[in-house]
Every structure is written in structure tokens, then in C-alpha cells.
A and B are shown apart, each in its own frame.
Chain A
């Protein structure tokens, strides 16, 4: 079992309110990722679950037991740190065995578990080495091994991949996913990388300034972000935003500013009608834009001027100017566009997002 529940959890550092009223139920075997920019309170929340940070108010419970006052060692959790935190004076074997030795496991059981973990992580050849004789990726595996051997109820990961180079990070990400599928242990994972969050998490918790912005499955966050922050944070390249005014004309709604005039799709008219005459923020993901053709309905296209062309091979990113705004469009790699070209872009009407200009909440 490994069910973690956070109820109205707060953290104050003197006058700084670092974590604000976090409520979350993490189910057994679930992989939950906390994501957000630095200083958003995600690591502090993780450390409160670990018991490394005192909880200012609220409760953290594991399998129904409130653990607020339990020291880390009694919470039956294992943690993987950003800088690995391997004991530099101990061999790989001793690093992995340390937690079991402290808990007075029999020598044979320790050897069995360490060997088991070493096999899973493919580090059997390095057991006698010291951490500094290992590469970053190998150290990361040892840190994982140290967590695995304990068979804890919950794994806690504090940005474990952020010190690896880009290629290794992608590889370890896949291995972490496999590891979780194999072990099935509840995992709480902190990262500032939204790609890691989307690929690893069964559910993703987006935080900002100590406040949970949205909790949901990765595609829910992508398809229906709760507010402008989540919309901009999830997805790469980031969503384009433009401030527009809602106009009513002959029963049709249009979103309009100096460089843009888009029809509001039929399905959204009801919801947006009460914002007529007011400013709203329109959000368009770069991948939902394409170079307009004759088959695109006129109400969903707009003119733009190319400023930068980024060739990625699989696609082309066009940085374009639309009136006073700049936007990024991810277009087909066969498109031949040059800087200063005037092109018409078309938007997928089902993929338009609208946000309240003041509250930034999704409309």
C-alpha cells in the first residue's frame, strides 16, 4: 500500500508563505508529478511528505496514518535527491545496503536485495566502486538502487534527472517509467520540466507561488488547462496568447484586435456570449496553426509576417508577427517560408482557448 493524502497543507518560512493550502489524494501505485517554475513550492511539498521539513499547518497522511510528527525514518518512504546524495566514502554496495543495515536486516537478506536492485538497474559490475568513480548516469542508478532495496511504500523523487545531460535524461526517463511499471510503488516526483511531467505522470500537479493550479492527467492539462498559467506552462513550444475584444455581429461572435479577427466556433459561443464588448485572452498552441489553404474557412485565418524561421527537421517553427503580437507556428516541414514573407495562417477552430483577461481563468 502507499496512499498519500495532503489536507490543507501549508508551509511558512518566517513571513514567506511558501506552500498554500495544498489538498491532494495520491492513490496507491500512482505516479504523481509536481511541476512548476523554481520557487513554486513543489520541492517544499515533497520535503514535507518526506519529513525533512516541518508542516506549518494541515496534515500529511500515509495509508490513513497522519505522519506530521513522525521522523523521516518512520514514514517508510525512500527518496532520490537531485544531487544523488550518495555517501562518498562508501562503495556502491554499502550505499545501497546502508538503509537496510540501519534497519537491522540480516546480512543475507541485504545481499539478496542489493543484488536484486543491481540487476534491475544494471549496475552489478560497479558494486565495489566508490561513487566518484562513476559517471552521472551510473550515480543516478545507484541513488535509485538505494531507494529500491528498501521496498518502501512511497518513492519520493526530487528533480532526479536535472543533473544529467539531455540525451541521458531522456533515456533515464524511459527507464524510470519502466521501473515504476515493474515495481508498482507509489511515486511522487518533482520536476520543473513539463516534458518529464507529461511523460512520467499518471497525474500531474501544476504549482505556482505555492498554490496548486490544476491537478489532472497529462492530456487533460494539455487539452483543457484551468488557467492561462497552466496553458502556457504545459506544451512546447508554449501556447501563443493575444488580447482580443469579443464582438457580436449578426449572431456570430468574433474575437478581434489590431492584427487578428477570428470567429468564435459554434460550440463556444454560448459560453463566451456574456463577454461581448470585453477583453479576453485568446490562446492558440503553435501546433494548432498551419499555413492557410483554400479549404480553410475564412473566419479562422489571419495574415502574419515571418520574422524568424527555425528548421527543426520534423517541423518548422515560424516566429511571426500578428498585429502587435508575436506568435509561434509549428508548420509542416515542406513549407518554404522566408523571413519577411507575408503568409496567411489558419487555426484549428476546435483548439481555440479563451481566458478571462483579469482572472486568467479558462472560459
Chain B
């Protein structure tokens, strides 16, 4: 029987060429990767390469431009607004990440408990994340508006202030304002992601630690935090990248003002490149972000790998 079966397969005509190609796993793998490669190439690699080329010319809107070497980088290096934007971006990213992590973790721990209406609350928490950022930021802009500010109204009626606070007109207050909005928008992502991480930690571990004599704070520090660390690192990584390249909140709230005091990399690059039409200089500004983000990503990925191997 077996011999016969083998003979019959030998006797059959060879499969057509197209089918044979699909049988080859390397060829099939390549075919399956093509759509992704095309998309990534068109929307990531090409603009990125084009950006680099643009940043070493002196092209403007309507002017093709010529090769000028690193002149644009030299120019922005001596640009005080650019320096402010760099400082702002670091401050903005650092402060918001710390708060988002702290508040997000706190919320996640609360939501991890059992209470009535748990599912509803969890869904509700996600709202700031779901609403399109531009829309919610416009709402915030009204809340910070010097004339119509609901914040001023509340503070005034509580007797905490006597005059109007010009939230977005003062450089420091404007910075604080956009930081607040970013935290408000970012906390749900942290909370929900960390909650998912918390739920993978067996409650038995906390019970074992409780019996072992660990107080609540010690249980968090010795058991929950180390086990949550891989998730935390991934969430922080995503958040840092997003925040570092943030555009919408600043663009809507202050437009980089007052007097260019709240520019970030992205908004300043936009203002120079698109607003002013100095395409090459704008490209240089946005590319200046790249080495920093690249470093952050490398460090964090290495760290995540180390934590996961442990």
C-alpha cells in the first residue's frame, strides 16, 4: 500500500510554477511582507530621507534650493527660540511623564480593586483618551481663557484670587497650562495599560507577602512594582516618544506663544517650515529631535530586555 502511494505521487505531473513559488517559504514570506514594506517605505522612509536631504539645502516654498551643507543646523544652533524649544520639550516631557506615571499608577491601583460599577468606571476613565485631542484642547483653551475662564471664575468665587489670571498670556503659566492638559490627556493611557499589567499579577502574591509580614507599602515596593516594571517601561517609552514629538496641544492652546515661550520641537519646526516657508530650516529643526529620541528608544529597549530576562 505505502509503496503504491509513493509511486502514484511520483507519477503525477509537477505542480504549476506559481504554486511551486508559494511552496517556497522564503518567497512566501517576502510576498507577505511586501504590503508592509511599501507602506513603511512610502510614509516613513521616504519622508525621512527627503527630510534629511531638505535639511542640507536652502530650499523654501517655491524655491528648489541648493546644497548648503550643515548651514541650517549651524543656524538653529544659534537660534535662541530653538534653544527655548529644546528646553521646553525636555521640561514638558519630563514633568508630564512623571505626573502621568504617578497618577496613572495610582488610578490603576484603585481600579484594580473590586467595587460596584467597576466596568463603567474603567470605560469612563478612557474618555480623555478617546476624544480627539484637538477638540478637547479647544475646550481646555476656553477654560484657560483670560476673560471666560471657568477656572478664574471658580477661584474668584472661592475667594482665592481677586483679579483675573492670564493663564495663556504669561510664559510660565502658559507652560504649566499645556503641561496640565497633556497630563489630563495622557493619564488614561497609563492607567489602563498599567491596570492591564496589574491584572496579570496573581493576588496570591500579595496575600503571601501580607502573611510574610509586608505592610501595604512594602507589598507595593517589593512585589507589585518589580513585577509591573516591564509594562511600566513600555508604557513610559511610548509616552516619552509621543510627548517629545507632541504638536496638537501646544498648537491649539498657545500656538507656541506668548512670544515663542512655549514652543516645542514640532510646533517650532512647523512654524519655521510651513508658517514661514523656510522648508529646509524646518526640516533641520524636526530632525534635531531624532538623535535624542533614538537614544531614548535604545536605552529603554535595552532596559526592557534586561528586565524581561531577569
User: A residues within 8 Å of B by Cβ?
Assistant: 50-52, 71-73, 77-79, 81-83, 85, 87-89, 98-99, 102-103, 130, 146, 150
Contact = CB atoms under 8 A, between A and B. Distances in A.
Given A79-B208, A83-B204, A85-B207, A73 B214 contact: yes
25 contacts: A50-B211, A52-B207, A71-B210, A72-B207, A72-B210, A73-B210, A73-B212, A73-B213, A73-B215, A79-B207, A81-B204, A82-B204, A83-B202, A85-B205, A87-B205, A87-B223, A88-B227, A89-B227, A99-B213, A102-B209, A102-B212, A102-B214, A103-B213, A130-B310, A146-B208
B270 to A, nearest CB: 44
Given A73-B212, A99-B212, A103-B213, A81 B207 contact: yes
Given A87-B205, A88-B227, A77 B211 contact: yes
B200 to A, nearest CB: 11
Contacts of B215: 73
A89 B210 CA distance: 17
Contacts of A79: 207-208, 211
A87 B224 CA distance: 10
Interface string B199-243: 000101101111111110010001100110000000000000000
B302 to A, nearest CB: 18
Contacts of A146: 208, 212
Nearest to A130: B310
Given A81-B204, A85-B204, A89-B227, A98 B209 contact: yes
Given A72-B211, A79-B211, A102 B218 contact: yes
Interface of B: 202, 204-205, 207-215, 218, 222-223, 226-227, 310
A89 B218 contact: no
A141 B56 CA distance: 66
B231 to A, nearest CB: 13
A12 to B, nearest CB: 16
B226 A89 contact: yes
A102 B222 CA distance: 10
B209 to A, nearest CB: 7
A78 B227 contact: no
Given A71-B210, A79-B211, 9 more contacts: A79-B208, A81-B204, A81-B207, A81-B208, A82-B204, A87-B205, A88-B227, A98-B212, A99-B213
Nearest to A94: B222
Nearest to A47: B207
A79 B214 CA distance: 14
A73 B209 CA distance: 9
Given A87-B223, A102-B218, A78 B205 contact: no
Contacts of B210: 51-52, 71-73
Contacts of A88: 227
Closest 6 A/B residue pairs (Cβ): A99-B212, A102-B213, A85-B204, A85-B208, A73-B213, A72-B211
Contact of A73 (B204, B211, B223, B310): B211
Contacts of B213: 73, 99, 102-103
A102 B205 CA distance: 15
Among B208, B218, B223, chain A packs the most CB atoms within 10 A around the CB of B208
B102 to A, nearest CB: 22
A89 B208 CA distance: 14
A89 B207 CA distance: 16
A89 B209 contact: no
A106 B211 CA distance: 19
A52 B215 CA distance: 14
